[in-house]
């Protein structure tokens, strides 16, 4: 992916006939996201099988705090639209506003990861870590994998913001990178829809 993204912008400049077409880089990244879909599908399948295997430990009803989940959901949803505003400003070549909206998205992303780590650490502190039951192993694997993806997205976002302030500016190459991160970020929000619906909300019923 890094190799693709650093391809010379001149290499595919000829493909543009006055109109923006999706570049092979962005399509390649889309294919990666589809494999990520399968990864999450497999982890969701494991969770679906193990969701009732409490081994005498606590169930979701006793563990999950829906207020916290609601706040996390709201944060991710807001971060989706703030990233969208960054994309629109990038198209309008308004670099200051791109950086501003990316910074807002970053802060929202960090608070999401913070809330999740807080939830995890309090569960582990109460002895309900991933080693407590099969249900909790599956829970920590699924939600943790999503959280890890968000963390990677945040690191990627900082890298792009630093690069954008350098000579790359809002070049064609940078636009491709922003488009890939946009797909990644919005994709993670889609995964979160399934997490809050089938893990948290279905878990407290």
Contact 1/29 with Cβ under 8 angstroms?
yes
Question: How far apart (Å, rounded) are the C-alpha atoms in residues 58 and 136?
Answer: 9
On the 0-12 / 13-18 / 19+ scale of CB atoms within 10 A, 17 is exposed
- Select from 141, 165, 152, 143 the least CA-distant residue to 109: 152
CB neighbour list of residue 116: distance below 8 Å, 6 or more residues apart: 72, 143, 147
Q: Out of 4, 7, 12, 44, name the contact with other proteins by CB under 8 A.
A: 44
Closest distance to other proteins from the beta carbon of 125 (Å):
26
Instruction: Count CA atoms within 13 Å of residue 86 on its CB side.
Output: 30
77 interacts with other proteins by CB under 8 A: yes
176 interacts with other proteins by CB under 8 A: no
Question: How far apart (Å, rounded) are the C-alpha atoms in residues 94 and 89?
Answer: 5
Q: Which two tokens stand for residue 28?
A: 């390649």
Closest distance to other proteins from the beta carbon of 11 (Å):
15
183 interacts with other proteins by CB under 8 A: yes
CB neighbour list of residue 198: distance below 8 Å, 6 or more residues apart: 44, 47, 48
10 interacts with other proteins by CB under 8 A: no
* Segment 92 to 121, residues that bind other proteins, using CB under 8 A: 92-93
Q: Which two tokens stand for residue 93?
A: 């070549």
- Residue span binding other proteins (CB under 8 A) among the ranges 83-91, 98-106, 121-129, 142-150: 83-91
Size of the site for other proteins (CB under 8 A): 51
- Residue span binding other proteins (CB under 8 A) among the ranges 46-54, 102-110, 133-141, 149-157: 46-54
Q: Name which of 21 and 122 has its Cβ closer to other proteins.
A: 21
187 interacts with other proteins by CB under 8 A: yes
Q: Out of 16, 118, 131, 165, name the contact with other proteins by CB under 8 A.
A: 16
Residues forming contacts to other proteins in the complex (CB under 8 A) are 16, 18-22, 27, 30-31, 34-35, 37-38, 40-42, 44-46, 48-49, 52, 66, 70, 73, 77, 80-81, 84-85, 87-88, 91-93, 172, 175, 183, 186-187, 189-190, 193-194, 196-198, 201-202, 204-205
């Amino acid at each position: 992916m890094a190799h693709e993204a650093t391809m010379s912008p001149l290499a595919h400049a000829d493909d543009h006939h006055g109109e923006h077409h999706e570049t092979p880089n962005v399509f390649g990244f889309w294919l990666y996201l589809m494999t990520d879909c399968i990864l999450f599908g497999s982890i969701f399948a494991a969770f679906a099988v193990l969701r009732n295997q409490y081994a005498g430990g606590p169930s979701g009803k006793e563990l999950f705090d829906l207020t916290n989940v609601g706040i996390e959901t709201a944060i991710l949803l807001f971060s989706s639209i703030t990233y969208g505003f960054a994309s629109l400003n990038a198209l309008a070549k308004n670099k200051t506003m791109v950086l501003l909206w990316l910074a807002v998205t970053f802060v929202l992303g960090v608070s999401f990861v913070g809330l999740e780590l807080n939830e995890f650490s309090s569960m582990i502190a109460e002895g309900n870590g991933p080693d407590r039951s099969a249900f909790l192993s599956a829970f920590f694997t699924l939600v943790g994998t999503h959280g890890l993806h968000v963390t990677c997205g945040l690191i990627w976002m900082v890298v792009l913001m630093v690069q954008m302030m350098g000579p790359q500016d809002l070049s064609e190459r940078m636009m491709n990178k922003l488009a890939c991160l946009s797909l990644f970020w919005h994709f993670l929000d889609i995964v979160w829809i399934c997490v809050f619906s089938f893990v948290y909300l279905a878990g407290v019923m």
